[in-house]
Structure 1
Amino acid sequence: MNIYCAHPFTREYVGQSLADADPLEPENWLIPAHAYLDPPPAPAVGQAVVRSEDGAAWQLVADYRGTVYDTITGNPQQHEDLGDLPGNLTAEPRLSPFHVWASEGWVLDSDAQSLAERVAERAWRDSCLANTDYLAMPDYPLTDAARAEVIAYRQALRDWPEGGEFPLPEHRPEPPTWLAEKTQ
């Protein structure tokens, strides 16, 4: 006789076995604890089969065991319990640092993303200005034409944050050719 076994603590279906005949009453079968005669249903992806608390029937429950994500930080963590996830966890990975959790899932916070892009581009611009400070010194040996190119480049860097294409990197001010070759 086939029997269907459940884990004694989690009640999760663990497999099928055979019941033994009772040696004192051969017409009866010995059914061990946490074993049942009714077969469990087939679970779908993301489900597990467990026996109800009262032992009366098999149930399908959500199975999110494994890596899940914190809805506040987006950090991955391991989850070991059967059933629905607590409200602070999701099975969906955070798509970027600029996504925030909402009732419909991760949504892009475009304001935060735009601010971060602007801050990063200003930092790039500031480093370009700092890296060319020595060229702007009146005693640095440059030709008048090269000095004019440096002055124009540095002014373009200063004006760039107010430009319509800021902070798109493909629209960054280009350094004079001789300076770009020197810094490569």
Structure 2
Amino acid sequence: MQIYHYHRETGELLGESTARENPLEEGEYLIPAYATNIEPSETGENEVAIFNVDNQKWNVVADYRGQTFWDTDRNKHEIAELGIEPDPAWLIEEPPLSEEEIAKMELERQLKTLITEFDSLCLAHGKLLALGSDQTSIDELKSEIQTKLQEVSDINEQLYS
């Protein structure tokens, strides 16, 4: 007799095997815990058979576990549970970035670089002041800081206006 093993918590079909005959009762078979002799339902792609212990029936449920989908707003959805189906509008591949998104990412990269450069100039300015350097060097660095600050401001305005 064929028996079908199922997961003790989810009821998911795990596999099948041949039941051993009961040595104490001829014609009877031993069915271990979390197994049944009821044949599971046929399943298709992204489906799994689940055994319902209460009504002693197999049910077929969606199985998209481990799959990732994206909605039209580029939000990522990872399915981790049995019975959850993706929204029909979801995509199976991450949608490509729009030209606007690419341009924004480039401006953000430039802004980050400019802020790092601005910070370095401010630190150098502070060192010059602390060391009592000549006013010409301090003024030149101050001018570079003002230029860099204007560049930061310009990109910031492009990004957030």
TM-score between the two structures when normalised by the length of structure 2: 0.51
SS in 2 for 1:10: coil
> Aligned equivalents of 1:91 and 1:27: distance in 2?
54
1:55, distance to aligned residue in structure 2 (A):
5.0
8 A Cα contact 1:67 1:91, kept in partner:
no
Do the aligned partners of residues 18 and 70 (structure 1) sit closer, same or farther apart at CA in structure 2, a change above 3 Å counting? Answer: same
Aligned ranges 1:15-164 → 2 under 5 Å = 15-54=15-54, 56-69=56-69, 71=71, 74=74, 76=76, 78-85=78-85, 90=90, 92-98=92-98, 116=100, 120=103
Q: Once the two structures are superposed, what CA deviation does each residue of 1:16-45 show, in whole Å capped at 9, x if it has no partner?
A: 111111122122111111111121122111
SS in 2 for 1:66: coil
SS in 2 for 1:38: coil
> Aligned equivalents of 2:42 and 2:35: distance in 1?
17
1:76, distance to aligned residue in structure 2 (A):
4.6
Kindly indicate which of the two structures has a greater share of residues assigned to helix: 2
Residue identity over aligned pairs, in percent, reads 31
Match of 1:10 in 2: 10
Task: Name the amino acid aligned to 2:13.
Answer: Y
Task: Name the amino acid aligned to 1:44.
Answer: G
Runs (4+) off by over 2 Å: 69-80, 89-98
Gaps of 5+ in 1: 99-112, 124-184
1:69, distance to aligned residue in structure 2 (A):
2.8
1:58, distance to aligned residue in structure 2 (A):
0.8
Do the aligned partners of residues 94 and 53 (structure 1) sit closer, same or farther apart at CA in structure 2, a change above 3 Å counting? Answer: farther
Gaps of 5+ in 2: 107-161
TM-score between the two structures when normalised by the length of structure 1: 0.46
1:77, distance to aligned residue in structure 2 (A):
6.0
Q: CA RMSD in A?
A: 3.3
Q: Count residues with an aligned counterpart.
A: 104
